[in-house]
């Protein structure tokens, strides 16, 4: 029996004990152990990196793989690095992953309303992080808001990018009518949970399929998200006033020649599948893959299909020395 098989059995046992025992401390312990196990299974280590700009970054990074291409994975609004763990697990050993919690999200500090969270600011911070880690050339893939940041990185330093991945990405930001109607209400943003139980609603909006978390774990993650609601409001305000979220008619996309994969969930309730046509018709070197029965976070909902699409795409691109 492999150690991974043993780990899986232990993880199931821990979760079973938590659910049957009903003890809050046990459930919280199981929640954190389950997250740690998933990261270990994907070959990722959790670490902190202090930058010259005063940020205390939290990121997940592949333990091995110095000789394989580097991949920066950028999560979306209100999310964190954990959104990409199942995806990274599918490609362990093939690529060297760098998956940070963006400023304003997760465990990267400080979490404050006094910081600017616009697309250009976040792109600058990511380049600073990569420089600190000694990463010169890399693939980048971004989901939702992370896609808009990835586009800005490609616009700014195309010489450093091997490829660009846009996963249900903002940038064109054609929201569905359903989502626009909800945002027009007060209070109306289902992506900013203010109570732990609200995070169940957030996931209903974001995912068409299960993301593989039991209800008690969703609630505990919701506690983390609700505690950061004030900062999330500031991030939302900053990105929605940023022209980088509305690039459709600006000419920016047409100037990006980086090889691009546009990956989309057909059932995305936030950014409709009509975004795909704009990206593929405007980006000079783009191809698209649309996944049926998948929502806004394909890398979590359909990790295997998403990884297969990127594996095929990345394998076609010769990587210059890093």
Rg (CA), the chain: 19
Residue 319: per-residue pLDDT: 56
- Rounded alpha-carbon distances, angstroms, from residue 294 to 78, 202, 300: 19, 15, 10
Residue 133: per-residue pLDDT: 95
Rounded to whole angstroms, the Cα distance separating 235 from 115 reads: 9
Residue 184: per-residue pLDDT: 93
Predicted structure pTM score: 0.92
140 and 156 part of one domain: yes
Rounded to whole angstroms, the Cα distance separating 30 from 70 reads: 32
Q: How many CB atoms lie within 10 A of CB 24?
A: 11
181 domain-assigned:
no
37 and 162 part of one domain: no
24 and 139 part of one domain: no
Domain CATH for 98: 3.40.50.1820
Task: Pick out the chain residues at pLDDT < 70.
Answer: 1-22, 319-322
Rounded to whole angstroms, the Cα distance separating 101 from 36 reads: 16
Rounded to whole angstroms, the Cα distance separating 221 from 28 reads: 10
Residue 17: per-residue pLDDT: 46
Asked if 104 and 117 touch (Cβ cutoff 8 Å), the reply is: yes
Q: Identify the helix (H) or strand (E) that includes residue 254.
A: none
8 and 60 part of one domain: no
How many independent structural domains does the chain possess? 2
């Amino acid at each position: 029996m492999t150690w991974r098989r043993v780990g899986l059995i232990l993880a199931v046992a821990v979760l079973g004990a938590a659910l049957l025992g009903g003890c809050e401390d046990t459930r919280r312990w199981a929640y954190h152990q389950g997250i740690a196990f998933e990261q270990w299974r994907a070959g990722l280590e959790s670490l902190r990196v202090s930058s010259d700009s005063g940020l205390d970054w939290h990121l997940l990074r592949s333990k091995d793989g110095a000789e394989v291409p580097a991949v920066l994975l950028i999560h979306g609004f209100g999310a964190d690095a954990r959104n990409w763990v199942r995806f990274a697990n599918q490609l362990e050993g093939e690529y060297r992953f760098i998956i940070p919690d963006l400023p304003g999200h997760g465990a990267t500090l400080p979490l404050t309303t006094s910081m600017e969270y616009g697309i250009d600011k976040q792109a600058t911070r990511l380049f600073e992080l990569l420089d600190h880690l000694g990463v010169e050339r890399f693939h980048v893939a971004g989901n939702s808001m992370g896609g808009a940041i990835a586009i800005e990185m490609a616009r700014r330093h195309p010489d450093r990018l091997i490829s660009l991945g846009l996963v249900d990405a903002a940038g064109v930001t054609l929201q569905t009518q359903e989502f626009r109607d909800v945002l027009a209400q007060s209070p109306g943003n289902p992506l900013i949970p203010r109570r732990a139980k609200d995070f169940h609603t957030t996931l209903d909006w974001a995912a068409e399929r299960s993301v593989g978390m039991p209800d008690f774990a969703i609630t505990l993650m919701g506690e983390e998200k609700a505690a950061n609601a004030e900062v999330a409001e500031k991030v939302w305000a900053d990105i929605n006033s940023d022209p980088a979220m509305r690039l459709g008619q600006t000419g920016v996309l047409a100037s990006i020649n980086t090889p691009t994969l546009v990956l989309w969930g057909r059932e995305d309730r936030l950014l409709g599948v009509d975004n795909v046509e704009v990206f593929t018709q405007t980006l000079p070197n783009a191809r698209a893959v649309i996944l049926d029965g998948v929502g806004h976070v394909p890398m979590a909902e359909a990790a295997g299909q998403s990884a297969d699409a990127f594996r095929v795409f990345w394998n076609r691109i010769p990587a210059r020395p890093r």
